[in-house]
Amino acid sequence: MKNWVSYLIIIVLILVVVAIGILTYNILKAPTDTADTTNQVEEVPKPVIEFDKEVNEGVVTINVNATIDGDTEISKIELPDKTSVVASSTTFDVNKNGDYEFTAYAKNGESTTETVTVSELEEVSSKNPYLPKGFTEVGGYPESGYVIEDEYGNQYVWVPVDSGKLTRDTMLDMRYEETNSGATELVNSVAQNYGFYIARFEASQYEKDGKIVAASMSGKTPWININSLDAISYAEASAQDFGYEDCQTALISSFAWDTVLSWINNRYTNYSSNTNYGNYSGTVYPTGYTEQDNVNNICDLAGNVREWTTEVYKEDETSSKKSNKNSDSEYTVKRVVRGGSATINRTPAAHMPYTETMTDPYWGFRMVLYKK
């Protein structure tokens, strides 16, 4: 009898312990379930930005498209230049490699910022000449004479400038100055593009749309008997006359002339300081005719016809007054003529000042072409 009672007590105790355990488990588990339910927050949708790129003539167009899930919309896209477009898609043009940041804003207050890397563009350098619109490659290499041509036959040669800075031999001579706007624009263009184009040939006359315009063509009679003022005017108008879109022409400046000679001297020793190359025969030849004066694919810098530049020569007050004592004008503006001609045996580096309104049957001019 006692054994049965003992067993019964043991069973009851076991049941009590089990019941207490189950109760304790439920008590401990209940707060966890409640916390999980409470912390479940509905996720707010954020914008998603997608990119694709198109490369065309030195420009990368970044196509931007922003989307968002749910019952909301994209309100605007902020561009790398910090301007905004009220749209869900847009484009952005760049001409330099680098990282470009875009931010899409949604009407629910959320935003997303993404960065796209542009690396498709060739780096600008003296060894990577830009090709102006409307021109094609003729041949040659940047270091020794890269030639381009437009649809009319005008040819220009790339002059590389590694430092981005043009040189001028008369820089420290206060009698000479270079204030022409085209010369200044060329300096700025070279600083960005590390080079410029020089006309392969001395300027000649070309009839286009019923008027005479300045050209750089092979086998033409050089344009002579022209004063410096007209040379400046025709040279600057040539780009517009031939419909160039992204580049400008100008009369060659002292900066350009000296930089060209320095570059040629690297391949032709002392080219600028001797008379072994030019046409000094007494007869002016057609442009590009003098075979020995085709250096770095540039023709007739030494002889044939002397060439006007934009450089100004200022006489000192004493000599100016003497030379103009019978004139109402106190000073006479003079422009510098470079090189020699068929009748004057002078080096390519030679420069002499003459009254800017003078003309001569052995004087002509040459143009440069540079990116705007």
> Of the given ranges (5-14, 124-133, 174-183, 211-220), which has the lowest mean pLDDT?
5-14
What is the per-residue pLDDT for 331?
65
Pairing of strands 306-313, 334-338: antiparallel
Direct distance between the N- and C-terminal alpha carbons of the chain, in angstroms, rounded to an integer: 118
What does the domain layout of the chain look like in residue ranges? 48-118, 135-371
User: Is residue 153 within 8 Å of residue 200, measured between CB atoms?
Assistant: no
All residues at 6 or more sequence positions from 317 whose CB lies less than 8 Å from its CB, including other chains? none
Going by pLDDT thresholds of 50, 70 and 90, the confidence category of residue 37 is: very low
For the domain with range 48-118, which CATH number is right: 2.102.10.10, 2.30.110.10, 2.60.40.10, 3.40.50.300? 2.60.40.10
Please say if the pLDDT value at position 67 is more than 80: yes
User: Is residue 194 within 8 Å of residue 161, measured between CB atoms?
Assistant: yes
Going by pLDDT thresholds of 50, 70 and 90, the confidence category of residue 286 is: very high
What number is the average pLDDT over the span 147-168?
Answer: 97
What is the per-residue pLDDT for 325?
43
What pTM was computed for the model? 0.72
What is the per-residue pLDDT for 200?
98
- Among residues 132, 124, 128, the alpha carbon closest in space to that of 98 is found at 124
Going by pLDDT thresholds of 50, 70 and 90, the confidence category of residue 327 is: very low
- Report d(CA 304, CA 288) in Å as an integer: 10
Token digits for 119?
């690396």
What is the per-residue pLDDT for 40?
58
DSSP H helical ranges for 176-330: 181-193, 228-241, 254-265, 317-323
- Among residues 152, 153, 155, 148, the alpha carbon closest in space to that of 130 is found at 148
Rounded to whole angstroms, the maximal C-alpha distance in the chain is 159
* pLDDT tens per residue across span 229-262: 999 999 999 999 999 999 999 999 999 999 999 9
Going by pLDDT thresholds of 50, 70 and 90, the confidence category of residue 263 is: very high
C-alpha angle with apex 194: 193 to 198, nearest 5 degrees?
95
Residue 176, classed as helix, strand or coil, is strand
Q: Which residue has the higher pLDDT, 316 or 228?
A: 228
Pairing of strands 155-160, 195-199: antiparallel
- Report d(CA 71, CA 108) in Å as an integer: 9
Residue 88: its H or E element: none
- Among residues 350, 133, 84, the alpha carbon closest in space to that of 243 is found at 133
What percent of the chain has pLDDT above 90?
Answer: 77
User: If you average pLDDT over every residue of the chain, what do you get?
Assistant: 89
> Of the given ranges (36-45, 281-290, 339-348, 355-364), which has the lowest mean pLDDT?
36-45
Residue 110, classed as helix, strand or coil, is coil
Provide the residue count of the chain. 372
CATH number of 135-371: 3.90.1580
Going by pLDDT thresholds of 50, 70 and 90, the confidence category of residue 8 is: low
Token digits for 316?
């000192």
Please say if the pLDDT value at position 168 is more than 70: yes
* pLDDT tens per residue across span 291-325: 999 999 999 999 999 999 999 998 765 444 444 44
What number is the average pLDDT over the span 3-8?
Answer: 60
Q: Which residue has the higher pLDDT, 58 or 72?
A: 72
C-alpha angle with apex 283: 281 to 288, nearest 5 degrees?
90
- Report d(CA 167, CA 348) in Å as an integer: 16
What is the per-residue pLDDT for 322?
45
